[in-house]
Structure 1
Amino acid sequence: MKQELALRIQLENPPADVDFSLQKGSGTNYTILQKQRSGTQALVFECTVAVKLGADNQPDFAGVVVQGTPANRFIYINIGKSAGQFDSIWSRRLKIPLKGITTEMIEETTDDSSLVLETKVPGTGKDGGPACGTVKPFNGWYLAANTSSTSSTVP
């Protein structure tokens, strides 16, 4: 049975004056969602994804922001030119892994709408520019209070 799962990604300490967005779609056929310009605060992206149990009895994710193969699902955060900031020197994407989300975590959030699954990821890479590639180290997902309305999330 498919369920909807609320997710929140906090991008911490990104370099200033760079646009970031969620990616909807794949390849060169994508649109940007929730575009935000970095400043002094963390950037927050919220979305919902569909989840069901896969053939291996592990969660499998789907939806307009989900990328990758069943064993390696992730969400892209687009950066600079990739996020529609065409005068930016940056053209990057950051992979936010969905790995590590357990069936127990899914059950808790779907049973209690006051909860959301959240992750915090670094916004700045080793080169001082926006973080890109797969988040490393990735500290995983955890249960957090759902502080926003579901109408502001991406389907």
Structure 2
Amino acid sequence: MDKAESVCMHRNYPMESHPSIPIGNIRLVGPLARSGYSLVMGREQQSEIAFRIVIEQPVPGVLHSLQGKDDRPLDPKASRMGEALAFDFSVRVGPGPKFFGDQVRREGPERRFVYIRVGQMAGDAASPWSRRMKIDIHDIDQELLDAAAKDMRPIEIAIIGTGKDGTPACATVRPTMRRIA
């Protein structure tokens, strides 16, 4: 082991004086190592849960889509007469709960959400709107997550797709309902 690997970076103590656990190229030192803490959560600790976002009262004719893992539109669709739009996707949920998946985005240490792209961002270059809706999932009750995993049924999140000004909703959009579908 070279000197860079054998010295604790926060204190100039030799690594040998601290209890440590190697994890790949990372070595946990001190209290974390003694606690049995792991930086890696195996997929066996995660449950795959189906989600459905229902956009009620979308602005007719405006394209909406999920945001794919490559930051591109995924499953774009528009409402002809204001009928609801539904987007289905899956999320892996681990203890905590912690959320993982292609549509899950993060902001800070806790906040996890899903983007719905609108107008130009959903792939309609002629749209006058270029927006995203942010739908939080990190604050879903553990009981609802457990029921969805047990019953193998999706969690349905309903939102209103039209803002007070009559244009497509954007920014953080609060759910009007969360339930097992």
TM-score in same-fold range (> 0.5): yes
SS of 1:141 mapped into structure 2: strand
In structure 1, stretches of 5+ residues that fail to align are: 145-155
Q: Specify which of 121, 145, 165 is matched with residue 106 of structure 1.
A: 145
Q: What are the within-5 Å matches in structure 2 for residues 19-34 of structure 1?
A: 19-25=63-69, 30-34=71-75
Q: Specify which of 76, 94, 109 is matched with residue 52 of structure 1.
A: 94
Q: Which has the higher contact order (CA 8 A, sep 6+)?
A: 1
Deviation at 1:87, TM superposition (A): 0.4
Counterpart position of 1:141: 178
Contact 1:74 1:98 in 2 (8 A): yes
1:91 maps onto 2:125 in alignment? no
Q: Distance in 2 between matches of 1:75 and 1:102?
A: 17
Q: Specify which of 102, 110, 113 is matched with residue 64 of structure 1.
A: 102
Q: Specify which of 78, 90, 93 is matched with residue 37 of structure 1.
A: 78
Q: Distance in 2 between matches of 1:88 and 1:49?
A: 30
1:12 maps onto 2:40 in alignment? no
In structure 2, stretches of 5+ residues that fail to align are: 1-44
Report which stretch shifted further, 63-72 or 41-50: 63-72
How many residue pairs match? The answer is: 135
Q: Distance in 2 between matches of 1:99 and 1:126?
A: 26
Contact 1:18 1:80 in 2 (8 A): yes
Contact 1:50 1:61 in 2 (8 A): yes
TM-score by structure 2 length? 0.70
Deviation at 1:140, TM superposition (A): 4.8
TM-score by structure 1 length? 0.81
SS of 1:118 mapped into structure 2: strand
1:80 maps onto 2:119 in alignment? yes
SS of 1:82 mapped into structure 2: helix
Q: Distance in 2 between matches of 1:104 and 1:49?
A: 16
- Cα 1:139–1:13, aligned 2, differ >3 Å: closer, same or farther? closer
Deviation at 1:99, TM superposition (A): 3.0
Q: Percent identity?
A: 39
Regions of 4+ moved over 6 Å: none
Contact 2:99 2:138 in 1 (8 A): no
Q: Greater strand share, 1 or 2?
A: 1
Contact 1:100 1:140 in 2 (8 A): no
Q: Distance in 2 between matches of 1:59 and 1:97?
A: 13
